[in-house]
Amino acid sequence: MNLNLGLFGFGCIGQGLWDVLHRTNGLRSSIARICVKDRKKSRPLSQDYFTYDKDDILNDPEINVVVELIDDADAAFDIVSKAMRQGKAVVTANKKMVATRFRELLDLQTSTGMPLLYEASTGGSIPIIRNLEEYYDNDLLSGVEGIVNGTTNYIFTQLMENPERGYAHALAEAQAKGFAESNPSLDVDGWDATYKTLIIAAHSMGSVLDPRQIVRRGISHITPFDIAAARSLGCTVKLLSRVLLHGNGFSASVLPALIPNSDSLANINNEMNAIRLHGAFSDDQLLVGKGAGAHPTASAVLSDISALRYSYRYEYKKLQQADAPVFNIGNPVRVFVRGPKELLNELPFSDVHVDHRTSSGSYRIGDLSLLDLSRSFAFNSETCFIATMVE
Ligand SMILES: NC(=O)c1ccc[n+]([C@@H]2O[C@H](COP(=O)([O-])OP(=O)(O)OC[C@H]3O[C@@H](n4cnc5c(N)ncnc54)[C@H](OP(=O)(O)O)[C@@H]3O)[C@@H](O)[C@H]2O)c1
């Protein structure tokens, strides 16, 4: 099957896709038209490729695949839904659109019969979604966890190396290197990782969550005291996405985590991503790769385009299971909480393992459910740093 592509967006990933497509022999596909937004921007290709009217692609019967690589989730949903209704297959990298419109996108795939692939939305170049769909279909997955946001991983790597420079300095450095946006909230408040976690939960546990159900806390409350505490405990700090099975339920969270230095996730540094899968029989497997950037992300987009040549589509078998695990955040987890004594005292720990109180700072390490944690004053206070403990 020849693939005639209509591309939306020619920014970082769109241009990356142009490069990788033109360096890949044997893939019978070419970009016919590119839709962008800003008429004043100069473009590195002939102006003949470009249009500013989405219908030039959506109504072109010669274009059979739409590749959506824009940075606006609402406009992307409009483009993607119209393309599918016009009988076009779609490839996208837009995690926010996929996560926030998951059910509508499922319905569209059913009603139009058109495939929608989004490998690049989660973990950049790491092939996680197709693996969860195909390879782990028959293995009992007890959990998927990992580092899925390169910006926060870069910041934590810098902080572990030079804690005295502080969070603001590490964030400014990430921005200067182009890893963080000028408005970094999507990354540092954990939303980007939350969208990816929702997609992982759907493909691993067969359950579509609302992003607000995922227990989420960002990284901006960390202080040099917290880094020193992590070091004294033999740990490294990372932002950890977790989807974990507990009996017939599963939890989903995006929280800073104290990871023992001996754990392979502790050694995933800077903008790298890693996803660990716990299988009942396969034991642990770790996928490591670049989670962002033009060529790594475009390689996942290219893989989806290539999969369309043999009519690949997600079957969502786990979503159709009658006995899929239900979302449940009532199980105890071990957490580190640093903050004012009165907030530490009111946390409903079932067990306290460390109660560290000094004039320079206080923290407690204990067990409580994610539900109780998320309802606590500490969780909702700017004055506390909270991290799960990886054992
Ligand atoms: N950057 C990464 O490393 C990375 C990694 C994984 C996934 N992603 C995802 O990939 C997608 C693209 O990211 P990016 O980094 O390439 O963004 P970007 O560099 O900001 O480029 C965005 C492009 O979208 C175009 N655009 C915006 N709104 C549009 C609209 N309504 N109609 C047509 N074109 C429109 C812009 O047009 P103009 O050129 O005219 O401004 C620009 O070409 C996003 O969903 C992002 O989350 C990015």
Which of 8, 13, 128, 299 for a ligand 1 pocket mutation test, highest count of atoms within 8 Å of Cβ? 13
Q: Is 201 in the pocket of ligand 1 (CB under 6 A)?
A: no
Which of 33, 35, 36, 186 for a ligand 1 pocket mutation test, highest count of atoms within 8 Å of Cβ? 36
What residue owns the CA closest to ligand 1's atom 11? 69
From the CA of 11, how far away is ligand 1's center (Å)? 5
From the CA of 68, how far away is ligand 1's center (Å)? 9
What residue owns the CA closest to ligand 1's atom 25? 9
Residues belonging to the active site: 196
Measure the CA–CA gap between 85 and 301, rounded to whole angstroms: 21
What residue owns the CA closest to ligand 1's atom 34? 36
Kindly list the domain boundaries of the chain, sorted by start residue: 3-117, 137-290+324-389
Q: Is 75 in the pocket of ligand 1 (CB under 6 A)?
A: yes
Q: For the domain bounded by 3-117, which CATH number is listed?
A: 3.40.50.720
CATH code matching the domain that covers 137-290+324-389, chosen among 3.40.50.720, 3.30.460.10, 3.30.360.10, 3.40.50.1220: 3.30.360.10
From the CA of 256, how far away is ligand 1's center (Å)? 28
From the CA of 47, how far away is ligand 1's center (Å)? 19
Measure the CA–CA gap between 285 and 280, rounded to whole angstroms: 11
Say if residues 351 and 188 touch (Cβ distance below 8 Å): no
Question: What Cα–Cα distance (Å) separates residue 46 from each residue in 18, 33, 264?
Answer: 13, 11, 46
**Tens place of pLDDT for every residue, the chain, 391 residues?**
789 999 999 999 999 999 999 998 777 789 999 999 999 999 999 999 999 999 999 999 999 999 999 999 999 999 999 999 999 999 999 999 999 999 999 999 999 999 999 999 999 999 999 999 999 877 789 999 999 999 999 999 999 999 998 999 999 998 888 777 777 999 999 999 999 999 999 999 999 999 999 999 999 999 999 999 999 999 999 999 999 999 899 999 999 999 999 999 999 999 999 999 999 888 899 999 999 889 999 999 999 999 999 999 999 999 998 888 999 999 999 999 999 999 999 999 999 999 999 999 999 999 999 999 999 999 999 999 999 999 8
pLDDT value at residue 350: 97
Q: Is 8 in the pocket of ligand 1 (CB under 6 A)?
A: yes
Measure the CA–CA gap between 231 and 282, rounded to whole angstroms: 32
pTM of the predicted model as reported, rounded to 2 decimal places: 0.97
Measure the CA–CA gap between 295 and 312, rounded to whole angstroms: 23
Q: Is 165 in the pocket of ligand 1 (CB under 6 A)?
A: no
From the CA of 363, how far away is ligand 1's center (Å)? 42
